[in-house]
Structure 1
């Protein structure tokens, strides 16, 4: 159980990193749009 849970945690961490990168890019694009529109 411990090994399987550790593998799941690693997968979740990897997905979290990708989500953080994507969210960061989206926030940057939104900020640029706001600056351009204003």
Structure 2
């Protein structure tokens, strides 16, 4: 899943996508995605 897909998923879920502004923190984004159960 790419950054844009994750942003869309979070937006559709009503979850703040502020963490995605830190695109350098790919590890953090991936961990957040796993925590949210994103496939």
**TM-score normalised by structure 1 residue count:** 0.35
Larger Rg: 1
Greater helix proportion:
1
Whose RCO is larger (CA < 8 A, sep 6+)? 2
